[in-house]
Amino acid sequence: MMKNNIKWLAAVYMAIFTIGFYSCDDGYDLTYKGGLGLNLLELKQASELWNGRECNLFTELSKSNKEADNFSYKLNIALYQNRNADKNATVNLIVNKDSLSKVIAKAKAGEDGAYEKYKEAELLPEEFYLLPSDKLELLAGTKLSDDLELLVYSEKMISLVQKEERNMTFVLPLKIVDSSSYTINDKVNSLMLFFQVKYVAPETGPEYLPDPNPAPEELSDNLKLVWNEEFNYEGVPNPDVWRFEEGFQRNQELQWYSDKNGVCDGEVLVITGKRERVDNPNYQAGSSDWKTNREYAEYTSSSIVTKEYRFRKGTMLVRAKIPTESGAWPAIWTTGGSKDSWCWEWPLGGEIDILEYYFVNGVQSLHANACWGSDTRWSAKWDSYNRPLSDFTKKDANWAEKYHIWRMDWDDNYIKLYLDDELMNEIDLSKTNNGSGGLNDWWRGSWRNPFKDAGNDGEGFGQQIFLNLALGGNGGTPAISKFPLEYKVDYVRVYQNK
């Protein structure tokens, strides 16, 4: 991905197609220490061999243990010499596996020249790229078709290379065929995307890895473990403990929450934000409600919530590694209420944001907040605090590649929120009394204090725990080349007085 858009055209015969590739770089944040090279091979007119001029991009990556930016290309078709089309034309775009196999065979047979670079090449696996359509259309009177965006997941290539512990070369062979209106020269209708990835020994250390130790039974002389989730199993989060939120939920965020994007890998919970279109089953054309006027969601993610568990006071610890790319809005938060019909609706039950990460005035920031009820229904009073991410990355350039511990200490007088033992916010509970909440109903939380009041008798009143990765909204415009995003949660532990 380059800072200046560049277009490669396969020079072909009259009234035949060219195919253009653009790659873009919105400022590499490349931190993998190996090399990721891209080779686009441009074909000459009527060439018998793929030996045309080559454009080579090679990027030295500066750090380790973080995925490189994904590659994003815009593909199109045009007539030879960029002429106006006199009629509509459609072509199919295919991944030409057979052609690549033949070239690899020639390279391994010792044929040199243009084939030599294919000697160690492998076909880029389907899960390593997203090609949203297999057709390109050129309309009459135009010179270029609409762009079709191809996304290549470089972080998946790097992960495989690091797992295999060897250098690897991947090739994605693209070909245009089956024109509806014009002839295509079969010798010059293919382009090869080369990805050469080097293996490097990763930096290691406990801060980069899940904690293998069990939860301590005691945190101090006064605090004992009362509840924990270590996520050290495979599959969906324990359905007896957690439930998934579904669909569009809040804040006009972009993602559709799904139960498919949150999986335990044997060590941690991995919530993956994906760029993929899903139908909105609640769609209503012309609706004024943002949850129903979107026919599709272009992104998916997961949010899990404790089913029955509620807690009040004590210390809560969460160890996690968060995505910091534009568009990411990871969170660790709680909301108050009960397990029965007398639940205090938001925000009368209180909310504690142990972690939120999103933009403030264009600056990526880490947040530690709490809120409670005002005199207006569904409108909160906030005690908010945020710190620019740069405050942390200036001290540690690898901050985003490491696990960190978010902590809440909650007693009768204060809620204190910490990041890696650094105090982020201190909420004075003498100031967190609800207003009327627009309900004027003491039984439902009006004029009560959600962080000091134990709720109504028999309610099981307390805070439930949310772990989620939202996309868009306050998180900013998603950077397509960064997807998929991964939010990893190592554990959640709650300690209370003995």
Please check whether residues 142 and 254 belong to one and the same domain.
no
CATH number at residue 477: 2.60.120.200
pLDDT digit string (tens) for 241-297?
A: 999 999 999 999 999 999 999 999 999 999 999 999 999 999 999 999 999 999 999
- Residue 50: what pLDDT? 41
Is residue 6 in some structural domain?
A: no
Of 174, 197, 220, the residue at which a domain comes to its end is 197
How far, in Å, CA of 241 to CA of 271, rounded?
17
Boundaries of domain holding 423: 206-497
Does residue 4 sit within a domain?
no
Q: Are 455 and 433 in the same domain?
A: yes
Q: What is the CATH number of the domain that holds 41?
A: 2.60.40.1740
| Per-residue pLDDT tens over the stretch 180-217 | 988 876 666 777 788 888 887 766 789 999 999 999 99
**Is 337 inside any structural domain?**
yes
- 173 and 227 together in one domain: no
Claim to verify: residue 395 and residue 464 sit in the same structural domain: yes
Please list the pLDDT of the chain residue by residue as tens digits (498 residues).
Answer: 222 222 333 333 233 444 444 333 333 333 344 555 555 544 443 334 444 344 444 433 333 334 456 777 777 887 776 788 889 989 899 998 888 888 888 888 876 666 777 888 889 999 999 888 899 898 999 988 888 888 888 878 887 887 788 888 888 888 888 889 888 766 667 777 888 888 877 667 899 999 999 999 999 999 999 999 999 999 999 999 999 999 999 999 999 999 999 999 999 999 999 999 999 999 999 999 999 999 999 999 999 999 999 999 999 999 999 999 999 999 999 999 887 766 799 999 999 999 999 999 989 999 999 999 999 999 999 999 999 999 999 999 889 999 999 999 999 999 999 999 999 999 999 999 999 999 999 999 999 999 999 888 767 889 999 999 999 998 888 887 788 999 999 999 999 999
| Domain co-membership, 372 together with 435 | yes
Co-location of 216 and 122 in the same domain: no
Kindly state whether residue 215 falls inside one of the protein's structural domains: yes
Domain end, chosen from 179, 197, 215, is at 197
Domain-embedded: residue 456: yes
Rounded Cα distance between 329 and 251, Å, is 11
**330, 369: one domain:** yes
Residue 311 lies in a domain: yes
Which of 173, 197, 221 marks a domain boundary? 197
Are both 145 and 293 inside the same structural domain?
no
Is the residue at 330 inside a domain? yes
How many domains does one find in the chain? 2
Q: Give the pLDDT confidence score for residue 188 in this predicted structure.
A: 63
Q: 364 and 471 share a domain?
A: yes
Residue 134 in tokens:
């297999």
Identify whether residues 441 and 379 lie together within a single domain: yes
Whether residues 221 and 178 fall in one domain: no
In a shared domain, residues 192 and 211: no
Is 5 domain-assigned? no
Give Cα separations from 9 to 16, 79, 290 (angstroms). Answer: 12, 11, 42
Q: What angle do CA 72, 150, 14 make, to 5 degrees?
A: 110
